[in-house]
Structure 1
Amino acid sequence: METIKLNKSAERVVDVLFLLSKAEQALTLNEICKALTLPKSSGFELVQTLVYKGFLEIEDTRLKTYKLGIGAFETGIAYLSKMSVSQLARPLLQELNRQTGSTVFLGVEDKGKIVYLDKAESFSVVRPTAKLGSRRFMHTTGLGKALLAALNDEKIHYILTQDDLLPKTAHSNVSIQDVLKDVQAIRDRGYSIDDREDNIETYCIGSAIYDQWSQPIAAISVASMYSAMNSEREQTIITLVKETALKLSQQLGYGGNKLYAN
């Protein structure tokens, strides 16, 4: 294996930034130097350079405590802007597919419909599927309902009043009042359920995905054959969907620990 020669100064810069990114509060120069076993003189020069470049800020001028600056934030945002949701989601979709054995979908809202962006399909001969790029109703699919419930009430009302709420099966909600009840139930429990509402043979569980500004931007769902669903399997999938949705959201910069506000 090739030995990589690290630049000591660059390594120390990264160490300081990582230290302050994990710290629960601003740190003094002494605390930084002690944590990283840095000589105080070189630690002082390093910190002052990072302050000058905007990567650190002095939080308390009296105590001389330091925190991450706007430069660090801008660098992080630049990274996130170059990483699409699909790129970040792909390995998580595959892992969720492996854990559940079911088809996993990623979708976004566009013009009041849910658009299928990516999927990791089950290997079962009989399995739920959807063509990438296809559009389906927000009010009948687990994917669509998961995202719908995360939107603000004004946007929900706009989507629901653009077209008639057409049924896909006998189980579909077709009144605004019933859909809004479902939206509230999703918010209360933290995930969506599509119980044969879009396809009479499928049962889906979904959750919304959020960005660094806590805005809902996508959703994931696990789609199983209704005939293969039981209460134990349902609870397992619910847990995995919520964990995966939160993990993906946090990778996108989301700072919360809940997927829906009641």
Structure 2
Amino acid sequence: MTASDGNALPAPDEGKSAEDRYFITALARGLDVLACFRSGDTSLSNQQISERCGLPKSTVTRIAYTLSKRGYLTQVEPGGRYALGTATLALGSSMLARMDIRQYARPLMQELADQAKATLALGVRDRLSVIYTEVARSTATLALTMQVGSRIPLATSAIGRAYLASASEQERNAILKLAHELDDSAADAIRQGIARGVEDFMQYGCTTSFGEWQKDVNGIAVAFRTAGTIPTMVMNCGGPSFSLTKEYLLMEVRPKLLAMARKLESSSFS
């Protein structure tokens, strides 16, 4: 596990305390195995799963066997690699189906993506990442090729900092605790992300990342909450730094992104 990896997983006993007698470690480990698969992964070996989850290979072997029997994993090589099984579709599909806001937001996002020649994305937090739940790209060939399911780190990205800036103190502390369980550098990065996010929000009403998430990528982002039951959402607009300059994003794109967020926030979704 590496601190810079937005998809890195905490220790299996994350959140477990002496008083937490309802926490089921075996279940948590199984969920961690499923969560370690990233959008670009076609399959993972036991060794890769072991490294991402911080679990012994023998434990991963038993968990993977159990999950494959339930359809959550499928073995693509005898005695070797695993891919996500069809049973995981029901979990993700149920969550996405509840997010009616995606259908409402998409044409608005596409309009701004085309105007700005950029990529816009809607996302929610998972651990130390933001997961994209909707993406709209400009037809320009220079737009970022991110997709639904992509994971973006909280600490260095505009969209991650938007979440950190909007989070309550209690939630920030929980995120810091999660980062500490990886290593101190991960926690330091989250602290810096919080500070930068709050500073940006006070100055611009949005958060920024200019070449910090990726060297040649600029982006701005906002967080919003609808009246429904879905969690806090974050939305960004970004692209190559040579075509989307800091000045252009802040002066031209920012007012439109903020207006879109206000429109989505005033809507009611379940």
Normalised by the shorter chain, which TM-score bucket? 0.5 to 0.7
Report whether the alignment pairs 1:127 with 2:133: no
After TM superposition, give the deviation of residue 213 of structure 1 in Å: 6.8
Could you say if the C-alpha distance between residues 184 and 233 of structure 1 is closer, same or farther in structure 2, counting changes exceeding 3 Å?
A: closer
Equivalent position of 1:39 in the other structure: none
User: CA separation in 2, counterparts of 1:122 and 1:211?
Assistant: 26
Aligned pairs, how many?
168
Equivalent position of 1:84 in the other structure: 100
Equivalent position of 1:211 in the other structure: 226
RMSD (CA atoms): 2.7
User: CA separation in 2, counterparts of 1:216 and 1:151?
Assistant: 11
User: CA separation in 2, counterparts of 1:174 and 1:129?
Assistant: 29
Q: How does 1:44-193 map to 2 (within 5 A)?
A: 84-163=100-179, 164=183, 174-188=188-202, 189-193=204-208
After TM superposition, give the deviation of residue 166 of structure 1 in Å: 6.1
Unaligned segments of structure 2, at least 5 residues: 1-96
Q: How does 1:34-49 map to 2 (within 5 A)?
A: none
Unaligned segments of structure 1, at least 5 residues: 1-80, 168-172, 254-262
Equivalent position of 1:227 in the other structure: 242
TM-score for the superposition, normalised by structure 2: 0.55
Of the two structures, which has the highest relative contact order with CA contacts closer than 8 Å and spacing of 6 or more?
2
Q: Is the partner of 1:114 in helix, strand or coil?
A: strand
User: Is the contact between residue 96 and residue 244 of structure 1 (CA under 8 Å) also seen in structure 2?
Assistant: no
User: CA separation in 1, counterparts of 2:199 and 2:150?
Assistant: 27
After TM superposition, give the deviation of residue 217 of structure 1 in Å: 1.5
Q: State, as a whole percentage, how many aligned pairs show the same letter.
A: 23
Could you say if the C-alpha distance between residues 252 and 194 of structure 1 is closer, same or farther in structure 2, counting changes exceeding 3 Å?
A: farther
After TM superposition, give the deviation of residue 115 of structure 1 in Å: 0.3
Q: Is the partner of 1:251 in helix, strand or coil?
A: coil
User: CA separation in 1, counterparts of 2:99 and 2:246?
Assistant: 37
Aligned match for 2:216, one of 201, 220, 229? 201
Could you say if the C-alpha distance between residues 165 and 96 of structure 1 is closer, same or farther in structure 2, counting changes exceeding 3 Å?
A: farther
After TM superposition, give the deviation of residue 88 of structure 1 in Å: 1.9
Could you say if the C-alpha distance between residues 135 and 177 of structure 1 is closer, same or farther in structure 2, counting changes exceeding 3 Å?
A: closer
Q: Looking at CA atoms only, which structure, 1 or 2, has the larger radius of gyration?
A: 1
Could you say if the C-alpha distance between residues 204 and 232 of structure 1 is closer, same or farther in structure 2, counting changes exceeding 3 Å?
A: closer
